[in-house]
């Protein structure tokens, strides 16, 4: 994912221009840590509001779940989950190779590289299923691309799995919720805060 002011990077595997890294202090579920970010990735200068709300309005996973962070960026969700849930195995997926490199480096620095895999979409093994999917999806790619993205990954939910999506109300959260229901998924609103909805999706029947 990329910053709203640079929407073309949603589609770019390799952002243009030289990389300039910076360090960000973040807090997730009461734990403070430092992440490396850089230009050309989503919300490079701060933890964006949608992700902040997704994490604040959700409890961390427990036990030993297989988790997907879809559109991981430099890794705040994937790494927050890995730190809060020592049994979690997390696949952090993005199309942006710079973001994936940052996520890998952050995982190594935080000591969770053995449990966080930063992957391009086609590097995920066919047939892999997830107990939980977390995502601040790239709404600005457009409705058709967003729907294709969700229809690619939501079928990977385990039968008892859940997906948590944070979407701006102004960018169509309620319309997306209705569309997901029309596709056969269970979809409820877990929280609404500062113009964002946190949607909880359960597998399609059958």
Average pLDDT value for residue range 132-157: 93
Question: Where does residue 21 fall: left (phi above 0), alpha (psi -120 to 50 degrees), or beta otherwise?
Answer: beta
pLDDT at 9: 46
pLDDT at 7: 41
DSSP H or E stretch at residue 161: strand 157-168
DSSP category for residue 200: E
Q: Which of 14-23, 27-36, 46-55, 74-83 has the lowest mean pLDDT?
A: 14-23
- Spatial contact of 34 and 47, defined as CB atoms under 8 Å apart: no
3: pLDDT strictly greater than 50: no
Of residues 17 and 113, the one with the higher pLDDT is 113
Q: How far apart are CA 80 and CA 181, in angstroms?
A: 29
pLDDT at 139: 84
16: pLDDT strictly greater than 80: no
pLDDT at 2: 39
pLDDT at 17: 80
Lateral strand order in the sheet of 157-168 = 116-119, 89-93, 66-70, 130-135, 157-168, 196-202, 186-193
Which stretches within 17-142 are classed as H helix?
49-56, 76-84, 97-109
Domains, the chain, in order of start with CATH, read 48-204 (3.40.50.150)
Give the percent of the chain with pLDDT over 70: 93
The tens digit of pLDDT for each residue in 157-182 reads 999 999 999 999 998 999 999 999 99
8: pLDDT strictly greater than 60: no
4: pLDDT strictly greater than 50: no
The tens digit of pLDDT for each residue in 62-104 reads 999 999 999 999 999 999 999 999 999 999 999 999 999 999 9
pLDDT at 206: 62
What mean pLDDT is reported for the chain? 92
pLDDT at 68: 98
pLDDT at 34: 97
């Amino acid at each position: 994912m990329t910053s709203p002011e640079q929407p073309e990077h949603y589609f770019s595997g390799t952002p243009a221009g030289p990389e300039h890294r910076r360090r960000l202090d973040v807090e997730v579920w009461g734990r403070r840590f430092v992440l490396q970010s850089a230009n050309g990735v989503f919300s490079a200068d701060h933890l964006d509001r949608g992700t902040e709300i997704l994490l604040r309005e959700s409890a961390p996973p427990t036990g030993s779940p297989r988790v997907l962070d879809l559109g991981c960026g430099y890794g705040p969700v994937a790494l927050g989950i890995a730190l809060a849930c020592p049994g979690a195995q997390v696949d952090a997926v993005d199309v942006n190779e710079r973001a994936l490199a940052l996520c890998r480096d952050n995982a190594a620095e935080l000591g969770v590289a053995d449990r966080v895999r930063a992957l391009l979409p086609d590097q995920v093994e066919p047939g892999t299923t997830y107990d939980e999917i977390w995502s601040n999806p790239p709404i600005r790619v457009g409705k058709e691309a967003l729907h294709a993205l969700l229809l690619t990954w939501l079928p990977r939910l385990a039968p008892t799995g859940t997906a948590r999506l944070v979407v701006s109300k102004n960018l169509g959260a309620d319309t997306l919720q209705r569309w997901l229901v029309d596709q056969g998924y269970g979809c409820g609103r877990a929280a609404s805060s500062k113009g964002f909805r946190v949607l909880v999706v359960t597998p399609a029947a059958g």
